[in-house]
C-alpha cells in the first residue's frame, strides 16, 4: 500500500503520519539556495566524493539516491565504484588522496564494507573536515562535546523532523531501541544534550524487558532492522514513534520483487492515537537531505566561513 493511500485510512482512526518527504522538500529548497550562493561566491560547486566497495544491492540503491539528490541540489558528486576484492590499502590510499584534494569538500564511504576491510581504520582515515557522515572517531567525539558540524545524517534528520512537526523533546521521556554508531548512539547524545533536554533511555539487544521502557515513553525511536518488532501494546496513547528500520522483504507483486518495511507493526497501530514516522516515507529521505546539508556546510567551513 502506498503511503498516500495508507495515510487516508489511518487518518480516520487517529493515527497521524509524519511525512518525511514534506520536511525534506523544505530542506531541499533551502539547500538549493545555499549551494547556488556557494557557487556565486567561489565559482565552483560543493563537491562530494562517494565511495562504494562491492555490489550490495541495497547499498547501490542508497548511493544512487545520494547522487540523485546531489544533482538536484547543485552539489558535484564524484562516484568511486570499487570492486568487491578491493584491498584495505587500496581503499585507504584513495581516501588519503581525496583528503588531500583541495576540490573535495566531503567524503562518504558507504557501509557496510566487505569482510576483510576494517571499518574502524577506514572511518578513522577520513579527514575530520570532510567527514560528512560524521562516523569517524574524531567526529563522534566532537558530537559528544557539543559540536554540531558533522552530525550523523539519520539522527540529524530525526531531530529536524521532530522540530518541523513541533514535537517537544524537552523534559520528555525518550526511548531509543538500537545502539549503533549510525543511529541510536549519536541520537541519544543529540536528544539528551542541553537545549534538547530529553531524558533518554538507550535500549539494545541485551535489554531485558524493552516494553517496560517503551510503555511510558513519550517518544520511541526504533532502529533494530526487525520487521514487526514494535507493536501497539508496547506504547501509550499520544506517543510519537520514529521507525528507522529498513528491511527488504520478498513481494512478488512489486516490480523489483521486494518491498521495504520498517520495524513497526503498522497494522497493530491502526486504531491508536499516535504520531508515527513510517517506512517508507519517513526519515529515510531526511537522511539523504542531511548529507547534502553536511556537504554544503563542510564546503563553507573549508572556505573559512563560520557555520
Ligand atoms: N549505511 C547505512 N546507513 C549509512 C549512512 O548513513 N552512511 C553510510 N556511509 N553508510 C550507511
Ligand 1 closest atom vs CA 108 = 9
Distance CA 265, CA 9 (A): 16
Residues 215 and 235 sit within 8 Å (Cβ to Cβ): yes
CB-based contact 286:161 (threshold 8 Å): yes
SS3 228: coil
> Quick one: what percent of the chain has pLDDT higher than 70?
96
**Is ligand 1 within 6 A of the CB of residue 111?**
yes
In angstroms, the Cα distances linking 28 to 12, 91, 123, 241 are: 30, 31, 27, 24
CA–CA separation, 277 vs 245, rounded Å? 11
Tell me if residue 275 falls in helix, strand or coil: strand
Kindly list the domain boundaries of the chain, sorted by start residue. Answer: 43-128, 152-284
Residue 66 annotated among the catalytic residues of the structure: yes
What confidence tens digit (pLDDT) does each residue in 243-282 have? 999 999 999 999 999 999 999 999 999 889 999 999 999 9
Confidence of residue 232 (pLDDT cuts 50, 70, 90): very high
Write down the pLDDT at residue 3.
46
218 lines ligand 1 (CB under 6 A): no
Atom of ligand 1 nearest to the CA of 111: 10
The one-character DSSP state at 277 is: E
133 lines ligand 1 (CB under 6 A): yes
56 and 111 Cβ atoms separated by less than 8 Å: no
Ligand 1 contacts CB of residue 153 (under 6 A): yes
- pLDDT value at residue 14: 77
Encode pLDDT of 180-192 as tens digits. Answer: 999 999 999 999 9
Lowest mean pLDDT, pick from 3-12, 181-190, 214-223, 227-236: 3-12
Ligand 1 near 182 CB (within 6 A): yes
**In the chain, what percentage of residues exceed pLDDT 90?**
93
Give the distance (Å) from ligand 1 centre to CA of residue 110: 5
What kind of fold does domain 152-284 have according to CATH? Answer: Rossmann fold (3.40.50)
**What are the pLDDT digits (tens) for 119-150?**
999 999 999 999 999 999 999 999 999 999 99
224 Cβ contact list (under 8 Å, min separation 6): 177, 178, 205, 245, 263
When computed from its CA atoms, the radius of gyration of the chain, rounded to whole angstroms, is: 19
Give the chain's mean pLDDT.
Answer: 95
Q: Is 110 in the pocket of ligand 1 (CB under 6 A)?
A: yes
Answer for the pair 53, 113: CB distance below 8 angstroms, yes or no.
yes
pLDDT bucket at 306, cuts 50 / 70 / 90: confident
Listing from the earlier edge strand, what are the strands of the sheet with 173-177? 16-17, 275-277, 240-243, 219-222, 173-177, 199-203
Q: Residue 5 — very low, low, confident or very high, per pLDDT cuts 50/70/90?
A: very low
Q: Which of ligand 1's atoms lies nearest the C-alpha of 109? A: 9
> Residue 2's pLDDT is what?
44
111 CA distance to ligand 1 middle (Å) = 5
Query: Which residues make beta-bridge pairs with 53?
Result: 82
pLDDT value, residue 10: 47
Mean pLDDT of 94-108: 98
Atom 11 in ligand 1: residue holding the nearest Cα:
111
- What local confidence, expressed as pLDDT, does residue 13 receive? 55
121 CA distance to ligand 1 centroid (A)?
16
Q: What whole-number distance in Å separates Cα of residue 161 and Cα of residue 46?
A: 25
Same fold, 43-128 and 152-284: yes
Q: Which atom of ligand 1 is nearest to the CA of 152?
A: 6
The one catalytic residue among 19, 66, 76, 263: 66
Mutate to test the pocket of ligand 1, among 57, 180, 182, 283 (most ligand atoms within 8 A of CB): 182
Q: Give ∠ CA 267-270-275 in degrees, rounded to 5.
A: 110
For the stretch 18-72, pLDDT in tens is 999 999 999 999 999 999 999 999 999 999 999 999 999 999 999 999 999 999 9
Catalytic site residue 131? no
110 in catalytic set: yes
pLDDT above 90: residue 164: yes
Q: What CATH number does the domain located at 43-128 have? A: 3.40.50.10860
Amino acid at each position: 500500500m502506498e503511503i498516500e493511500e495508507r495515510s487516508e485510512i489511518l487518518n480516520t482512526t487517529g493515527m497521524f503520519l509524519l511525512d518525511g518527504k514534506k520536511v525534506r522538500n523544505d530542506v531541499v529548497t533551502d539547500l538549493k539556495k545555499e549551494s547556488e550562493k556557494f557557487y556565486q561566491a567561489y565559482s565552483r560547486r560543493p563537491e562530494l566524493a562517494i565511495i562504494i566497495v562491492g555490489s550490495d544491492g541495497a547499498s547501490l540503491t542508497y548511493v544512487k539516491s545520494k547522487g540523485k539528490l546531489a544533482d538536484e541540489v547543485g552539489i558535484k558528486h564524484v562516484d568511486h565504484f570499487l570492486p568487491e576484492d578491493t584491498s584495505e590499502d587500496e581503499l585507504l590510499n584513495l581516501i588519503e588522496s581525496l583528503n588531500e584534494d583541495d576540490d573535495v569538500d566531503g567524503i562518504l564511504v558507504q557501509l557496510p564494507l566487505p569482510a576483510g576491510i576494517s571499518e574502524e581504520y577506514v572511518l578513522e582515515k577520513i579527514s575530520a573536515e570532510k567527514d560528512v557522515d560524521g562516523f569517524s572517531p574524531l567526529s563522534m567525539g566532537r558530537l559528544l562535546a557539543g559540536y554540531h558540524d558533522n552530525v550523523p545524517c539519520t539522527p540529524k534528520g530525526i531531530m529536524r523532523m521532530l522540530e518541523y512537526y513541533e514535537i517537544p523533546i524537552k523534559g520528555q521521556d525518550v526511548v531509543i531501541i538500537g545502539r549503533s554508531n549510525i543511529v541510536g548512539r549519536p541520537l541519544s547524545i543529540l536528544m539528551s544534550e542541553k537545549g534538547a533536554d530529553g531524558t533518554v533511555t538507550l535500549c539494545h539487544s541485551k535489554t531485558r524487558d524493552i516494553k517496560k521502557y517503551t510503555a511510558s515513553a513519550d517518544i520511541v525511536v526504533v532502529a533494530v532492522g526487525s520487521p514487526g518488532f514494535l507493536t501497539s501494546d508496547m506504547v501509550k496513547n499520544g506517543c510519537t514513534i520514529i521507525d528507522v528500520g529498513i528491511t527488504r522483504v520478498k513481494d512478488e507483486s512489486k516490480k523489483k520483487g521486494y518491498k521495504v518495511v520498517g520495524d513497526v507493526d503498522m497494522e497493530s497501530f491502526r486504531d491508536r492515537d499516535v504520531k508515527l514516522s513510517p517506512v517508507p516515507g519517513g526519515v529515510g529521505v531526511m537522511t539523504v537531505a542531511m548529507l547534502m546539508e553536511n556537504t554544503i556546510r563542510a564546503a563553507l567551513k573549508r572556505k573559512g566561513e563560520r557555520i
